[in-house]
Amino acid sequence: MNTSTDVQQASGDAEDGSSNFLAEVDGLQPSSLFNKQATRGKFSMENILSIGRELDSDPAQSPSTFPEGDPIMKRVISYHIATSLFEGFIRSFNPFICVFDPSFHTFQYVREQSSFLLTVMLSVSAKAFNPSLYPDLHRYSEKLFSDAIARGAKSPEIIQAIVLKTYWKQSDDTRSWPIIGYAIRLSMELGWHKLLLKEEDMTAMSIGEILKRRNIERTWLVLFVYDRRFVPLPKDIPSKKLKSDQHELAKWETLDDRAK
């Protein structure tokens, strides 16, 4: 009978398969229990369990659409995680500073305008919602900040990114007042301090132009507040002395009123 022969052959094949499998296994750790054949090819465990390359960027957009330094194109963060963090920022963080208009500052718009601003927004959001991504995003935002200063670049988005970096700064970061001053100088170079908008001027403006103008005015007002909020108290001047100086200023104002 061939039954015993078939059984022996089947058992032999099984042993050969087991030996082949064990020969390809590097160890007894969970990650090593997959033989090498399971880690190769389109349907490998690596490809199945990891985020595919097609998820790292928006397939509908060309890389030329975005500025150089885009964090998604640089693979600092994936496209889908970036959109999620951006929505989290607009929903949870923007109400604290009231700088961004959700109807105007969409993910697509911010990404096309400024890699620096987008990275800072994602960094702030990641610190709360995805802390493991925060160090890389923060480090990359610092690089983009240094590059912007070195190039002398100025735009509303760069100024807004600086505002975010001062508001949600690290505990050991003491640059708030100096870099807010830098942002104000950039604003003045852009002529924000000379903007005067009459009501009749708005009738000739499109909705998009009005939103851009409001974006600038809103940011300028925030800079005005921040400049006074982050003024450091001089270490060599006690607070009582400052109060005394304020009283002296009141006397000068009184004398000025009398002169009139």
φ, ψ of residue 230 in degrees (nearest 5): -95, 15
Is the Cβ–Cβ distance between 93 and 124 less than 8 Å? yes
Is the Cβ–Cβ distance between 69 and 115 less than 8 Å? yes
Closest CA to 165 of 190, 189, 144, 192: 144
Question: Mean pLDDT across the chain, nearest whole number?
Answer: 77
pLDDT confidence of residue 58: 58
pLDDT confidence of residue 50: 45
Query: What is the distance of C-alpha 2 from the center of its chain?
Result: 71
pLDDT confidence of residue 21: 46
Q: Say how many CA atoms lie within 13 Å of 205 toward its Cβ.
A: 14
pLDDT confidence of residue 174: 85
Amino acid symbol at 146: S
Provide CB contacts within 8 A for 78, sequence distance 6+. Answer: 51, 55, 56, 72
Which residues of the chain are modeled with pLDDT < 50? 21-22, 25, 28-34, 38-39, 42, 45-46, 48-55, 236-247, 249, 255
Longest dimension (CA), the chain: 129
pLDDT confidence of residue 142: 97
Summarised one tens digit per residue, pLDDT across range 188-227 is 999 998 876 666 567 778 888 888 988 999 999 999 888 7
Structure tokens, 98 = 């009231």
Q: Do you know the residue count of the chain?
A: 260
pLDDT confidence of residue 239: 46
pLDDT confidence of residue 41: 53
Burial 179-212 (b: 16+ CB within 10 A, else e): bbeebbebbeebebeeeeeeeeeeeeeeeeeeee
Q: The pTM is what?
A: 0.67
